[in-house]
Chains A and B, each alone.
Chain A
């Protein structure tokens, strides 16, 4: 079981039928696209509904990055028109509690998604911002 939210998300994304590689620390830089990277703890805000004791909840904002090739060698569009939305759909409402140990996770809620094109590196970057509600 994962110890961190990013590892739990990585394990969960690996189970989605999207054929996506989740690049973690230690994976070589020249990994084949499409792949996913995860930035965890962009912001961790306590919900403030409890008394600060056991079971106090918080919202952790994470960024799931989908990296795709923009065009192939023949200059045709290689970017999938459906992959980013399928990934966002898979994340929205996901229960990742069974993938993590040490903290209880209540669920994932996708907040936003945008498409950022990097023509210089032939890359389409789709950062998906999501809130993970979990125990503090």
Chain B
């Protein structure tokens, strides 16, 4: 059984991007630390600010609400029903189950956009070379024109990590996908990026050692450099003469 990288107790999750396994306690610690780091790095929140989390009833917004509370911020949630039939009714139920009703007066609005969301948006904007969208994609949008500051404290966490946070904390969330999301380009970009990550990991897992120099290689025996040296050394050296170009005339 795989062990937690930190305490060597039985692990509950493997996180390939950290090349490590974690137990529940150290997964929580990792998530808290990543959110804290994002808040500090991008100066998202300041002490004593009131934070309003935009809640959908899904894993990211509920995890965000929960982790901000754990970090000691004063946080409330707001749910906006989109009227998508039974799906919205269910989502509102999940949000209410977690909510404590309070009044307004907030300095900042926090959304549950995570690392996968940001990567997918960046990927899509790059594919379309949408310079305006690329310039707008920030972790903090400053206040202005009557709108409060908007921040994305989960930008350092993947959605697998936010989902794991919810499971570990017993947070019941809307697992089923929105019925209007079918064929959504954003989801397709996320799926593509995950396939790329899995392919890259498969390549890394398949690496062997070059029998001559010991470097990592995908080849059966020799690495690309040693193969080139072998091919080149089988031929007579070709004399090479350095030619100096004539000075350009004025």
Q: Are A and B part of the same complex?
A: no
Interface residues of B (CB under 8 A from A): none
Interface residues of A (CB under 8 A from B): none
